[in-house]
Amino acid sequence: MIVVDQLTKSYGDKVVVDHLSFTVRPGVVTGFLGPNGSGKSTTMRMILGLDAPTSGTVTVAGRAYVDAPVPMRTVGALLDAKAVHGGRTARNHLLWLAHSNGIPARRVDEVLADVGLKGAAHRRAGTFSLGMSQRLGIAAALLGDPEVLMLDEPVNGLDPEGILWIRTLMRRLAAEGRTVLLSSHLMSEMALTADHLIVIGRGRLIADTGIEDFVRTQSDSSVLVHTAEAGDGERLAGPLRAAGAEVAVEEAGGDGDRLVVTDLTGAQIGRIAVAEGIPLAELSPRHTSLEEAYLRMTRDSVEYSVHGEGGA
């Protein structure tokens, strides 16, 4: 379990993590989401004791990470896959880490097999592709058989096969009862992997929710209606509103009008249109994707918005 309590980090007068509190529980995969620059890496570095908080506390498995007798046995972390001595072979890199943490050498071969790098054990890490470097970083994280795993953007730059592999591995590790925290700035990557989501923006907590609740509360649906004839939009909107719908009408010129209708199904709208004798050119249900819901939720906290609204 990771418990973050009122964690705050300032650089000069810039507050990059702002009174952040959340708990990461064992047995599930928790996604740590936020736009670029929202403070995810800084939070993870504080969890690992690599950065000191300005205020607030964090505990991992009941104590501050730096107080753990053998840190690698408590938390396995991957913060930067390329932070490896490129001249060492994969196996030697892991042997060195194992040795300096009092972990038996046989664990090295186990984790190399676990991440599918057995065949590349004697290749220099400097020659590895990004995907292989990620695997080596994950092997290092697994070395101490830790109860907590924390990976910063683990699928960044990976191909679909690599993403699927990480997803499967993380779910297996969580199913073994471990605490798994993965960060990403993309909802699409988390939607299929995480059971729970912690969303931050500008260093503040925006959501702490199960993925199913997130889907239920954030992804609403509407129906797009196109009338066949211009001028019919308002004529149809009246009876739709009377039936309880919320309707936005846009006059689309010569090609009929466009209505966005919520709170009624396509079938209900179709029946009302028939009853009113209004011909339709289109009737299509739309679902807000999780990605759209996430972007909407974090829109105001994007540090460098392309629209210039969210300026830092």
Please state whether 259 falls in left (phi above 0), alpha (psi between -120 and 50) or beta: beta
The count of residues in the chain is 312
Residues with Cβ within 8 Å of 126's Cβ and at least 6 positions away in sequence, in order, are 84, 86, 87
| Contact range with ligand ATP by CB under 6 A, out of 34-42, 214-222, 228-236, 252-260 | 34-42
| Interaction pattern, residues 163-192, with ligand ATP; x per rule: CB under 6 A | ----------------------x-------
Check binding of 11 to ligand ATP (CB under 6 A): yes
Q: Report if residue 301 touches ligand ATP, rule: CB under 6 A.
A: no
Part of the chain binding ligand ATP (CB under 6 A), chosen from 38-46, 160-168, 213-221, 233-241: 38-46
39 binds ligand ATP (CB under 6 A): yes
| Residue 202 in contact with ligand ATP, rule: CB under 6 A | no
Residue 41 burial (CB count, 10 A): 19
Site for ligand ATP contains 16 (CB under 6 A): yes
- By beta-carbon proximity to ligand ATP, the closer residue of 59 and 156 is 156
Q: Which is nearer to ligand ATP, 49 or 116 (CB)?
A: 49
Q: How far is the CB of 210 from ligand ATP (least distance, A)?
A: 22
CB of 226 to ligand ATP, least distance (A): 39
Cβ of residue 216: shortest distance to ligand ATP, in angstroms?
A: 26
Q: How far apart are CA 76 and CA 80, in angstroms?
A: 13
Q: How many CB atoms lie within 10 A of CB 188?
A: 12
Pick between residue 14 and residue 122 the one whose CB is nearest to ligand ATP.
Answer: 14
Distance CA 86, CA 75 (A): 24
Decide if 133 contacts 82 (C-beta within 8 A): yes
Q: Which residue from 30, 38, 74, 222 is in contact with ligand ATP, where contact means CB under 6 A? A: 38
The sign of the CA dihedral 51, 55, 59, 60 is negative
Buried b (16+ CB within 10 A) or exposed e, 93-129: bbbebbeeeebeeebbeebbebbbbeebbeebbeebe
Cβ closest to ligand ATP, residue 11 vs residue 96: 11
- Least distance between ligand ATP and beta carbon 57 (Å): 18
- Of positions 2, 18, 34, 178, contacts ligand ATP by CB under 6 A: 34
Q: What are phi and psi of 232, to 5 degrees?
A: -80, -10
Q: CA 93, CA 120: separation in Å to the nearest integer?
A: 12
Comparing CB distances to ligand ATP, the nearer of 266 and 310 is: 310
CA separation for the pair 97, 134 (Å, rounded): 16
**Which residues bind to ligand ATP, rule: CB under 6 A?**
11, 16, 34, 36-42, 185, 303
